[in-house]
Amino acid sequence: MKKMIVALITVTFFAGVACAADVIEMKRGVSFNHKKHVEIIKDCKKCHENAEGGKIAGFGKDMAHKKACKDCHAEMKQGPTSCKGCHTK
């Protein structure tokens, strides 16, 4: 049990350090609340190749409008799927 708590604290600590920005500003006024997504999704590997995270190779419009963003909102029936839901300009 003690070991598990230590492991959990370590994970939380590194997640906090690894991800500097809580909100990542993207093109055309998309504010991606990384922190909030991490709290809800929890598993880094849902979006990243590994648990360290970082830049996503090839990230841009095509990915965002499919698996990197919109597909998950559609699947979970949560989060915006309309242009204006993501883009503020």
Residues that bind ligand HEC (CB under 6 A): 15, 18-21, 24, 26-28, 30, 32-34, 36-38, 40-41, 44, 46-48, 53-56, 59-61, 64-65, 68-70, 72-73, 76, 78-83, 85-87
Distance CA 20, CA 23 (A): 9
| Closest CB to ligand HEC among residues 4, 88 | 88
Of 6 and 28, which has the nearer Cβ to ligand HEC? 28
Give min distance, CB of 3 to ligand HEC, in A.
Answer: 20
62-68 long-range Cβ contacts below 8 angstroms, 24+ apart: 64/26, 64/30
Q: Which are the contacts of 6, defined by CB distance < 8 A and separation ≥ 6?
A: none
